[in-house]
Chain A
């Protein structure tokens, strides 16, 4: 134990006293500070945009007087942990508008008639030519390089200096040396990670708008733990290479080479390969769009059959409706496909008319319309699902590089990963179902307030509001568990290999 402590101390002191420690410390702190400063600003902008959107939606909601006119919105609330890891925060839709006859879906091609899921404009898209740098990016790139710089000469360097012989000739067992060197190196990296995160936290908190609750703080602690695990992986890799190679320079060159491959080259090649050879192939989006008018034709047939069955087709009621499908207008690729179906009601002297038959028809057809919108949604959603499956496959392959594994783990913890974004779209769909249930409970479809407010406007005070809850710590942890476990496994494998290699290390 005393031996171990001695080795740790020696390693720690020899690290901390070097210039690389000071430079690494300063580079890490400075770049973290600047990155957080930029990201806090970005978050404030997102929050302001969100608040404006919510306010506007509330103002619009006050004007709803008919059940058929309501268009509740689901807004994506900016995530304060996005300051540490931007992830999908600036990507995809921020607002989903719930309309009963409209499916909720996302397409990559632009679509006419107002897609239900919309993205707020960016203030200056040109700035995207600069890579988004956030804390996690700095950790991923700079901390890993630093870990290598700390580890490369642990064994091969001492061997060159000739001190390794002296160390080994002592009574200290070899396993203690490996463990001591590992712990000593980690001990010197620890303050860098800790200080960087603390600086990040202080800058984030000094802003007026960021407020972290206990849950967020717990998540940040988790980020710290996973970052340490990541740094440890790189350190162990450097240590292992240091055992395997003869000179410190070779170790450094080799590990920097691996560093470049794992941090930036690997995931690009994977993304390209999956794009070229997608494991899941789907019909193009335009084909999906083109098949939707058929579904709506079916809807019309079904409704007309109902009208016939009830014997209403000969009754001239005082209200006419003008059904129309909205064409998508995406140029020649989609033709005249319509992806949703609206009807406008021209009401002729409602106050004197008996609208009971019309109400009965609406009570039947509006629910049917929602069902058909769901069918269209399933069709339109196919391409997005396939894209997602391909993306998941690419993620799986990216995980070979533990730098990407780290990225995924942190994304999951902060709740800014793609999965969490998909959750938002799913929640928006659930919200739509909730609205439909709410209207059903009120028997709104067959009420007079569906189309006219002459005998009392629609009663909407308890209309459900969209909720998109952040994940609790245990939920985040369970989602990130696979990635964290992969990192742990890398650590164990690398440590064991280093350990065994050093035990069999030949001094000559």
Chain B
């Protein structure tokens, strides 16, 4: 093994790696600790939103519970990840907030006698998932994931000739004639390559972290250090996979160069072509309704509800009085109840369409993601994103929590309303709810809980890949002819 390390150290590829790795890690640290789209900008934006939201809640809570209940708690921003420099994930693609407030007042509806009555449709969750990217160029981001892709490339470069070269030089038979067993030879080769690859990597990572910590723009807690440690582990798993792959090809093929050619083609395919291509391909195989279709469907359903409740200008039904002829008021509970039914119908439709739309989008992208995990590089990427909390699974979690919060908020309004004897307890009409101000501190606050459990699947997959390629390399080496 020492012989292997020594041999590796003196090669050109090692020199190239030792130059490239620190440069990339330093560029990465500079981009994300000082660059415009780094953590600082994001956390400032997040804090601004949180304070604005707080102001919003206080403002409406001071007015009355009814006002707050209808307008909603405002915007729920997703906390930016401190480790976005490791893996950008979905956080670099879509905007990180969910709007949870009513879209404003409507007044002077047709068929309502009190023409000046202004009402508010109750809050809904609006998922603003328009793309956040503004640059039209295809650009690979220099983050840790990208460096991981390069590490897999270097792993190939260090192993393609491990066995084939010795075989063609004749040293393999010399080694075999010693008392060293084949398994030990393979293990030595593996460990030699592993150490040569991991030591520069870890040194570069330390340089990267040093810059980031010194720049003081990204605060690091114990959780961050732990996750970084986990990421180093992921690097090790990925590198190990490609070392085994390299050893496998190297022992299969008689010529070192042929093995390198095979490995490179495999690598280009696994790293560049396969994940992206398969991802978009699956996305297209599993079509979801377009934005235009969904907005048309929404319009149609809302029109239908409107017709049902407020129909007046229909010639044949001139006799029939619309259900919502008079504005709701505290004195007339039955009238208020009719309005509540109308609002609930609208609210349910809006909720159903918006929730269904984002569910479809998320399902589509998750399916694509699951299938691309056939490539270990893609699996590595998703695990990194999982640890950085920028993965699609994290986003799904965020959406789920926002929905749970919606329910918590509505429950809060209802229980608070029960405490007011003057209220009609009719949700969601302003006149049917308590008109008294509510203590803003009592309003539940949206708190995001982050789970890293999804990473375990990817770690398991990476270990499985390791085992598979280890067995392949082992069997292929044991069965290979020395000459």
Tell me whether A and B are bound partners. yes
Chain A residues, Cβ within 8 Å of B289: 123
Which residue from chain B places its CB closest to the CB of A42 in the assembled complex? B284
Q: CB within 8 Å of B: which of A131-149? A: 131-133, 137-138, 141-142, 145, 149
Tell me how far the C-beta of B356 lies from the nearest C-beta in chain A, rounded to whole angstroms: 13
The answer on a CB contact under 8 Å between B361 and A142 is no
Which of B113-121, B259-267, B432-440 lies at the interface with chain A?
A: B259-267
Per-position contact with B for A248-290: 1 when CB-CB < 8 Å, else 0?
A: 1110111011001000110111011001100000000000000
Instruction: List A residues at the B interface (Cβ < 8 Å).
Output: 19-20, 23-24, 27, 31, 34-35, 37-38, 41-42, 45, 48-49, 52, 87-88, 91-92, 108, 120-133, 137-138, 141-142, 145, 149, 153, 157, 248-250, 252-254, 256-257, 260, 264-265, 267-269, 271-272, 275-276, 418, 421
Overall SS of chain A's interface: helix
The answer on a CB contact under 8 Å between B27 and A269 is yes
Tell me how far the C-beta of A61 lies from the nearest C-beta in chain B, rounded to whole angstroms: 19
Chain A residues, Cβ within 8 Å of B264: 145, 149, 252, 256
Chain A residues, Cβ within 8 Å of B24: 265
Can you name 18 A-B residue pairings with CB atoms under 8 Å?
A: A38-B280, A91-B134, A123-B289, A126-B129, A126-B395, A127-B368, A129-B90, A131-B272, A141-B268, A141-B273, A149-B265, A249-B257, A256-B157, A256-B264, A267-B137, A267-B139, A271-B137, A418-B136
Tell me how far the C-beta of A55 lies from the nearest C-beta in chain B, rounded to whole angstroms: 11
Give 11 A-B pairs besides A19-B262, A128-B131, A141-B272 with Cβ atoms closer than 8 angstroms.
Answer: A92-B136, A123-B290, A129-B90, A129-B93, A131-B272, A149-B261, A153-B257, A253-B12, A267-B137, A272-B30, A275-B36
Chain B residues, Cβ within 8 Å of A268: 27, 139-142
Select which of A20, A125, A130 is within 8 A of B276 by beta carbon. A130
Tell me how far the C-beta of A406 lies from the nearest C-beta in chain B, rounded to whole angstroms: 13
Is B445 in the interface zone, CB < 8 Å from A? no
The answer on a CB contact under 8 Å between A34 and B12 is no
Chain A residues, Cβ within 8 Å of B89: 129
The answer on a CB contact under 8 Å between B93 and A126 is yes
The answer on a CB contact under 8 Å between B364 and A127 is yes
The answer on a CB contact under 8 Å between B31 and A252 is no
Q: Which of B129, B161, B288: most chain A Cβ within 10 A?
A: B129
Select which of A31, A52, A131, A149 is within 8 A of B292 by beta carbon. A52
Chain A residues, Cβ within 8 Å of B262: 19-20, 23
The answer on a CB contact under 8 Å between A88 and B12 is no
The answer on a CB contact under 8 Å between A276 and B276 is no
Chain A residues, Cβ within 8 Å of B276: 130-133
Select which of A42, A126, A248 is within 8 A of B94 by beta carbon. A126
The CA-CA distance from A49 to B289 in the complex, in Å, is 12
Q: With A27-B269, A45-B290, A275-B36 given, is the CB distance from A126 to B365 under 8 Å?
A: yes
Select which of B30, B257, B269, B368 is within 8 A of A157 by beta carbon. B257
Chain A residues, Cβ within 8 Å of B292: 48-49, 52
The CA-CA distance from A91 to B134 in the complex, in Å, is 7
Select which of A27, A122, A153, A421 is within 8 A of B130 by beta carbon. A122
Q: With A131-B140, A249-B256 given, is the CB distance from A142 to B283 under 8 Å?
A: no
Tell me how far the C-beta of A16 lies from the nearest C-beta in chain B, rounded to whole angstroms: 14
The CA-CA distance from A59 to B136 in the complex, in Å, is 32
Q: With A87-B136, A88-B136 given, is the CB distance from A35 to B277 under 8 Å?
A: yes
Tell me how far the C-beta of B445 lies from the nearest C-beta in chain A, rounded to whole angstroms: 22
Which residue from chain B places its CB closest to the CB of A267 in the assembled complex? B139
Per-position contact with A for B244-274: 1 when CB-CB < 8 Å, else 0?
A: 0000000000001110111011001100110
Chain B residues, Cβ within 8 Å of A125: 93-94, 129-131, 361
The answer on a CB contact under 8 Å between A137 and B131 is no
Q: With A23-B265, A130-B280, A265-B24 given, is the CB distance from A275 to B273 under 8 Å?
A: no
Q: With A129-B392, A253-B13 given, is the CB distance from A123 to B288 under 8 Å?
A: yes
Tell me how far the C-beta of B126 lies from the nearest C-beta in chain A, rounded to whole angstroms: 13
The answer on a CB contact under 8 Å between B141 and A257 is no
The CA-CA distance from A124 to B290 in the complex, in Å, is 8
Q: CB within 8 Å of A: which of B138-158? A: 138-142, 146, 150, 153, 157
The answer on a CB contact under 8 Å between A124 and B288 is yes
Is B362 in the interface zone, CB < 8 Å from A? yes
The answer on a CB contact under 8 Å between B139 and A271 is yes
Select which of B153, B258, B280, B368 is within 8 A of A132 by beta carbon. B280
Tell me how far the C-beta of A172 lies from the nearest C-beta in chain B, rounded to whole angstroms: 25
Tell me how far the C-beta of B390 lies from the nearest C-beta in chain A, rounded to whole angstroms: 10
The CA-CA distance from A379 to B258 in the complex, in Å, is 61
Instruction: Count A-B pairs with CB separation below 8 Å.
Output: 173
Chain B residues, Cβ within 8 Å of A260: 150, 153
The answer on a CB contact under 8 Å between A142 and B272 is yes
Which residue from chain B places its CB closest to the CB of A417 in the assembled complex? B136
The CA-CA distance from A361 to B365 in the complex, in Å, is 58
Chain A residues, Cβ within 8 Å of B161: 249
The CA-CA distance from A133 to B257 in the complex, in Å, is 29
Per-position contact with A for B342-355: 1 when CB-CB < 8 Å, else 0?
A: 00000000000000
Chain A residues, Cβ within 8 Å of B284: 37-38, 41-42
Chain B residues, Cβ within 8 Å of A149: 261, 264-265
Tell me how far the C-beta of A50 lies from the nearest C-beta in chain B, rounded to whole angstroms: 11
The answer on a CB contact under 8 Å between B35 and A19 is no
The answer on a CB contact under 8 Å between A124 and B130 is no
Is B72 in the interface zone, CB < 8 Å from A? no
Chain A residues, Cβ within 8 Å of B279: 127, 129-130
The answer on a CB contact under 8 Å between B34 and A133 is no
Which residue from chain A places its CB closest to the CB of B284 in the assembled complex? A41
Select which of B36, B150, B257, B361 is within 8 A of A124 by beta carbon. B361
Tell me how far the C-beta of A208 lies from the nearest C-beta in chain B, rounded to whole angstroms: 16
Which residue from chain A places its CB closest to the CB of B49 in the assembled complex? A331
The CA-CA distance from A37 to B284 in the complex, in Å, is 9
The 5 closest A-B pairs by CB, nearest first: A130-B279, A91-B136, A126-B365, A131-B276, A121-B291
The answer on a CB contact under 8 Å between A272 and B277 is no
The answer on a CB contact under 8 Å between A122 and B291 is yes
Chain B residues, Cβ within 8 Å of A48: 290, 292
Chain B residues, Cβ within 8 Å of A92: 136
Is B16 in the interface zone, CB < 8 Å from A? yes
Is B133 in the interface zone, CB < 8 Å from A? yes
Chain A residues, Cβ within 8 Å of B269: 27, 31
The answer on a CB contact under 8 Å between A142 and B268 is yes
Chain B residues, Cβ within 8 Å of A128: 93-94, 131, 133
Chain B residues, Cβ within 8 Å of A276: 30, 34-35
Chain B residues, Cβ within 8 Å of A249: 161, 256-257, 260
Chain A residues, Cβ within 8 Å of B129: 125-126
The CA-CA distance from A138 to B277 in the complex, in Å, is 10
Q: With A122-B291, A260-B153 given, is the CB distance from A127 to B280 under 8 Å?
A: yes
Tell me how far the C-beta of A327 lies from the nearest C-beta in chain B, rounded to whole angstroms: 15
Chain B residues, Cβ within 8 Å of A418: 136
Chain B residues, Cβ within 8 Å of A271: 137, 139
Tell me how far the C-beta of B182 lies from the nearest C-beta in chain A, rounded to whole angstroms: 24
The answer on a CB contact under 8 Å between A120 and B277 is no
Chain B residues, Cβ within 8 Å of A141: 268, 272-273
Which residue from chain B places its CB closest to the CB of A134 in the assembled complex? B138
Chain B residues, Cβ within 8 Å of A41: 284
The CA-CA distance from A108 to B36 in the complex, in Å, is 14
